Amino acid sequence: MTVVDRFLKYVKFDTESNTETGTTPSTPGQMVLARELEKELYEMGLEDISLDDKGYIMATLPANTDKKNPTIGFVAHMDTSPDLTGKDVNPRIVKNYDGKDIVLSQELNVILSPVDFPEMSDYKGQDLIVTDGKTLLGADDKAGIAEILTAVQYLKDHPEIKHGKIRIGFTPDEEIGAGADYFDVEKFGCEWAYTLDGGPIGELEYENFNAAGVKITIQGRSVHPGYAKDKMVNALVVANKLISLLPSSERPEHTTGYEGFYHLTNVSGTVDAATVGYIIRDHDRNLFEQRKKLMKDAVDFINKLYPESTTVEIKDQYYNMREKVEPVKHVVDLAFEAMTAVGVTPIVKPIRGGTDGARLSFMGLPCPNIFAGGHNFHGRYEFVPILSMEKAVEVVVKIVELTGKN
C-alpha cells in the first residue's frame, strides 16, 4: 500500500476531537480508526502491538542486527481539529497542478487560489490532494500516520537496511492539547523519538510555543429591555468590552516567527450569561507569563466596572520543548542529515503551534518534529502535495538507516 493509498483511506474516518466530552479519546471515531490501525499493524507483522482503552497505540519493528543501537520512535496523532468538520471528507487529487486557481466547491464558491496562498506556486507541476471545500482534509495528522506506516513497511521489506528497535506510537486528542495525557513513556521505551506532525516539506522543529487555554465566564443581569435602565448588565456587551482590552495587534493574523499572540477561539451566551474562550501562545517563557497576567488584569478591570461578574480559568497546556531537546541536539542534527541525504532542504524553524512532542520532551522523551507535508491545516483550504508525503517517508527511512550506521 502506498503512502497515498493509506492517507486517502485514513481521512475517511471521522476523528474530530472535542474539548467538551471529558473522555479519552474525546470522540468515538478516534477509537474506530485506532482499531483499524491496530489491525494493519498485525497484518504488517509488527510486534508488541498494544491498543489501550484510552486509544493509544504502540508497536515495534524489531532490530535486525546484533549491533547495539538506540531504540528510537516515531509518533503521530489520529484526531483532527474541531475547528472544522472532519466528517465525510471527500479528497481529490489534482494532477500536475498548473499553478492556477483550484475550484474546491462550485456550489459554495470555495476557491483555493495562489493569490491567497502564494506557497501553492512552489508545487506547480506536482500532484496535490485537496478537499471538496466542505471539510478539512486531515493531513494534520493522518499524513503523519500514513508516512510512518509506509516507512516501516519499507524497512520491513528491505532487511538490508540494518537498524535497531523501532517503536511506533499513535495518540488521540492532540488537537485539544491532550495527546500526551496518558502516553506511557516508559512503556514506549525509546531514547528519543520524532513526531511527524509538521507542515511544508523540509520543516524541522525543536522549538514551539508555550501554551495556555483560557475560559472566561461572565454572569450578567437580564432585565426586560423596556425597563432596563441602570439595572441590566448585558453579558455579551461585557464580553465585547473584555475582548477590546487585549491588544489587537497581538492576534494570530498579525504575528509571525517568534511573536506570540492572544487568539479568541469562541464566544457564546445570552444577555444573562456568556463564555469567552482564548488560547495564549508565546515562545519566550517570561513573555508567556506576562501574557497570562495581562489576561487576569483585564478580568480584574472588568470586575471593577461590573463587580463580581467575571471569572477566569487559565490552564497551561504545554511548554517550549527547546529546553529539553537542545541538550541532546544530536537528534535534531540526525534528522537534518537525513533530509539532506534524500534531497530535502531542511528548514529549521520554531513551530507556531505545538505537538505531542513538546509534552513528551518534558516527560523524558526528547521529541523534535518533522514535516508531514500539508498546508492550511484546520480548514477547507487544506492541501498536501504527494511528493512531500513521499519525501517524508524517505526521511524516516533515512533516519533509521543513519541511526543504525552511527
Place 406 in a pLDDT band, splitting at 50, 70 and 90: confident
Residue spans in the chain of domains classed CATH 3.30.70.360: 210-318
Average pLDDT, the chain: 96
Round to whole Å and give the CA distance between 235 and 306.
Answer: 10
Round to whole Å and give the CA distance between 213 and 277.
Answer: 8
Least confident range of 10-19, 285-294, 346-355, 378-387: 346-355
Question: Is this prediction's pTM over 0.85?
Answer: yes
Least confident range of 89-93, 175-179, 378-382: 175-179
Asked if 352 and 110 touch (Cβ cutoff 8 Å), the reply is no
**Which entry of 14, 16, 40, 79 is annotated as an active-site residue?**
79
Round to whole Å and give the CA distance between 99 and 341.
Answer: 28
Q: Per residue in 215-263, pLDDT tens?
A: 999 999 999 999 999 999 999 999 999 999 999 999 999 999 999 999 9
What is the model's pLDDT at position 351?
A: 86
Asked if 126 and 99 touch (Cβ cutoff 8 Å), the reply is no
Question: Does 405 score more than 90 pLDDT?
Answer: no
Place 355 in a pLDDT band, splitting at 50, 70 and 90: confident
Q: Which CATH class is domain 3-208+320-405?
A: alpha beta
Q: Per residue in 29-86, pLDDT tens?
A: 999 999 999 999 999 999 999 999 999 999 999 999 988 999 999 999 999 999 999 9
174 is catalytic: yes
What is the model's pLDDT at position 82?
A: 95
Asked if 238 and 228 touch (Cβ cutoff 8 Å), the reply is no
What is the model's pLDDT at position 236?
A: 98
- Percent of the chain at pLDDT > 70 equals 100
Round to whole Å and give the CA distance between 319 and 362.
Answer: 8
Cα–Cα distance list, 406 to 194, 337, 392, 403 (Å): 18, 12, 21, 5
For the chain, give percent helix, strand, coil, nearest 5. Answer: 35, 25, 40
What is the model's pLDDT at position 398?
A: 98
What is the model's pLDDT at position 177?
A: 84
Least confident range of 95-104, 109-118, 340-349, 352-361: 352-361
Round to whole Å and give the CA distance between 371 and 143.
Answer: 10
Number of Cβ within 10 Å of residue 180's Cβ equals: 25
What is the model's pLDDT at position 353?
A: 80
Q: Which CATH class is domain 210-318?
A: alpha beta
Residue spans in the chain of domains classed CATH 3.40.630.10: 3-208+320-405
3-state secondary structure of 316: strand
Round to whole Å and give the CA distance between 16 and 86.
Answer: 6
Place 354 in a pLDDT band, splitting at 50, 70 and 90: confident
What is the model's pLDDT at position 122?
A: 97
Alpha-carbon 14 to chain mean position: 16
Contacts of 229-234 spanning 24+ positions with Cβ under 8 A: 232/271, 233/306, 233/309, 234/271
**Which entry of 16, 174, 175, 390 is annotated as an active-site residue?**
174
Quick one: cell of 74?
516515531
